[in-house]
Chain A
Amino acid sequence: MAERKSMAEAGRRKRNLLEIIVVAVTVALIVIFSVVVDGFATFGNFRVILSNSASLVILSCGMAVVIISRGLDLSLVAVMIAGATTFTIFINADMPVALALLLTVGAMVMIGLANAWLIAYVEIPAMLATLASAMLVVGLFRFAILQGEFLLLLSKTNPAVIALSGDLLPGVSVSAVVMVAALLVTWFLLRGSAAGRTIYAMGDNFQAARLTGLPVRTTTITVYVFAALAALCAGLVMSAASGAVDFRTVTNGTLLFEVILVVVLGGIPLRGGRGGVLNIIIGVALIAVLRNGMTLMNFTAQMQDVLKGLVLIVAIVADNYFNPRDTETDTVGDL
């Protein structure tokens, strides 16, 4: 029986070696930073890392689900900012928080639906559809609502803002709770729900999923609406923490790349069909540790970008070296 089991494991697809490499690199970085940087290995700094990465984790949850279904959502950060803006305008106009939240959720669902409609019904490639909707959303919000401004300030005295940026229990921030909730919901969507089965099937072989009769359109809607809602959560957490909605987050593009970086480094291939919540955590851990360590070492933002780019290249080269592609496993778009 034990032999059968080990044979069965050999028969399963090899685990992506990239995950192991990324975990090893993260551990190595933690060791190096702890030795080199004063104040890195403290409980206070650990909390800083955790709360700073909340919005990145939540965004990555949305992106991971989309990518596993063999899609891509380039409008994620734009939707995040649009959601935060909508909510801010509503509460700044003294609307009851519950109503403001409801309306914002409705608006973001509409954006998700529009993306999904373009992709599943009009059959535009996901990359182009979401790129177009990202530009549309950002342009519309900056032009019509902010009249060209970059920043929208939140009123610090609003109870909703105070609640979002504060602690739920002593020592447990609301952002951390939202982050854990996002991970749990993602886990349920991918592992526990019927839609999750279809998401993996679509990512593995979209044509086969379609021909088998799986509800590929409905599932595409689920995926992009989920991503839009994840973006909204991230937007609320991020803007409550910083006290402002900053459109430069979209226009400088760094955050979107970081989210894709997290998903890919975590071991979710861009062709889809593989990966899960654990991969998100692995990817965020590396990026968050790297970001925090470099900030403590007073690296400039530009230098940080260079290093993040290098890490990505090294990880992919190492993965290619240890896990060479052969004709059996090679697929177009595999990373």
Chain B
Amino acid sequence: MNRQPIVSLENVTKSYGGINALESANFELYPGEIHALAGENGAGKSTLCKLIAGVISPSDGTVRINGEVVKLSAPKDASERGISMVYQETSLVPQLTVAQNMVLGREKTFNSVRKVRNAARQVLQRLNFKVDPSQLAGSLSTAKRQMVEIARAVLNQAKVIIFDEPTAALTPEETDHLFDLMKTLQAEGVAMIFISHALEEALNHSDRISVLRNGKLVVTGNADEFDRGSLIHHMIGEELNEKMHVPAKRHEARSALPVLRVENVRMGSMVNNMSFSVFPGEITGIAGLIGSGRSEVAKVIMGHTKRNFGGGRIWLDGREVRYSLPAQAVADGIAYVSEDRKLDGFFDTLSISENIGLGWMAKFGRRALLAPLRKMRRISREWEGKLSIRSIGTDQSVLYLSGGNQQKVVIAKSLVQQPKLIIFDEPTRGVDVGAIAEIRQIVRQFAESGAGVILISSYLPEILDLSDRILVAKSGTIVADFPRADATATKILHAAIH
């Protein structure tokens, strides 16, 4: 292709706190092209899109639009250059009408309701969308809201439209309609990027496909050069396939009784008839895409989420339980290590010793009148040593620790409760490389001590490295159950994606 790319990235890197979300990526987008991005969770697809849309700025490298070097520091910079992004969670203001949403941020000082509505109607009709411009955006279905976002991009004369998982919430008919529309826009010279977990969509509807893995853009090629197998192969990578047949570490006969049994648990639209068992002394890995209902079922088991509970039964050590408060679950010996430690993991104004000590107090000091401060400090020191938490003192605030040490504090806070079942939700997310190995070692040791361990992770190598048994969740249901020896990254990914 000799034409000039409309967008090009040269050696672009984006790092968060020393971890590269995207590493020296070279990417080109040509006018009138539909370009699909494939990759596992966290491979860097969204990062790439957000860089082009100006939502985030690159740490290093050059972004060119129409050959001209640009610095996009806000979405506005990108939209002024004709780049629009259609988000996964739609970004319309529900209280405004469709027409108002379409001109949002570009209003003149005085707006005629009629003119705005007519302009919106013209675009909607040209795109063959059956949406009333004077309807409130909040009353629209997900598919229609997405249409409005696309119409907004067209109204703004977008030259580049980026779709973040556009088909995730659409029915098959709506999906077809969307791809027809993309073809129409393509004919008008609009370039499009779309992220999709449904590999068939990428193969059938795009001109070119780029595959990302671990923050690196590993391959770009014409869509007809790929098939499903080769895409998955690129997504997983060579080195992992070689490592796959590590022998399982423990072979003892599984004790007959599961420590936890979950049957047909439902919660809202996220958890849909989830059933599985967890055996003591084993690590049960749950793989799946983000949004497959894994964390949600963990929070239902803990009693943290009780709204929208749609039924189902849970047994702990053969006794049926249903907690309405995590305190009850903790008292019975369940612990949950949060996937987002800043949101609901640690107490950021409190010291390391208070953080770990509070975990101990929640289980063993419930009836105490006096604060067991000395005991809390002693326990904390002991566990700081066990998990080699590196700090300048047990009184240091957790906020100033590195990600890895913060995560160890959160884990210690749960381990001091000596649970018989512990749920690790993304235990190595946002953790420095050195600490990842240490944390995995902690997880393994804890299972070896005889407790049941659930490991929720979107990172396949982690699941494969640690688990004795691997479950795969998809749309709120467990769709596959592999013994350790049978599991491969390819099988898991085949089960997890549409």
Contacts and interface: CB of A to CB of B under 8 A. Distances in A.
Interface of A: 4, 7-8, 11-13, 191-194, 196-198, 200-201, 204-205, 207-217, 273-274, 328-329
Contact of A205 (B327, B330, B348): B348
B358 A8 contact: no
Interface stretch (B54-62, B396-404, B489-497): B396-404
Interface string B352-388: 0010011101110110111110001000000000000
A188 to B, nearest CB: 9
A214 B354 CA distance: 13
Contacts of B343: 207
A302 B391 CA distance: 53
B325 interface: yes
Contacts of A273: 347, 349
Residue in A12, A191, A274 whose Cβ sees the most chain B Cβ within 10 Å: A12
27 contacts: A8-B392, A11-B392, A11-B393, A11-B396, A11-B400, A12-B397, A13-B349, A13-B397, A193-B369, A194-B361, A197-B357, A197-B371, A201-B350, A201-B358, A204-B348, A204-B350, A205-B346, A207-B344, A208-B344, A210-B344, A211-B304, A212-B362, A213-B362, A215-B327, A215-B362, A216-B325, A217-B325
Contacts of A328: 399
Contacts of B329: 213
Most chain A C-beta atoms within 10 Å of own C-beta, residue among B325, B327, B413 = B327
B38 interface: no
Interface of A is mostly: helix
Contact of A211 (B302, B354, B369, B376): B302
| Of listed A13, A191, A212, residue having the most chain B CB within 10 A | A212
8 tightest Cβ-Cβ pairs between the two chains A and B: A213-B330, A207-B344, A213-B362, A204-B347, A8-B393, A194-B368, A11-B396, A213-B327
Nearest to B365: A194
B336 interface: yes
B327 to A, nearest CB: 5
B47 interface: no
B214 interface: no
A274 B399 CA distance: 15
Contacts of A8: 392-393, 395-396
Contacts of A198: 358, 361
Contacts of B372: 194
A214 B325 contact: no
B327 A208 contact: no
A68 to B, nearest CB: 11
Nearest to B336: A211
B417 interface: yes
A180 to B, nearest CB: 21
A205 B344 contact: yes
Contact of B399 (A13, A192, A208, A212): A13
Contacts of A191: 371
Nearest to A7: B392
Contacts of A210: 304, 325-327, 344
Contacts of A13: 349, 397, 399
A196 B357 CA distance: 13
Nearest to A3: B392
Given A193-B371, A194-B369, 18 more contacts: A8-B392, A11-B400, A12-B397, A13-B399, A193-B369, A194-B361, A194-B365, A194-B370, A197-B358, A201-B354, A208-B344, A211-B344, A212-B358, A212-B362, A213-B363, A214-B362, A216-B325, A328-B399
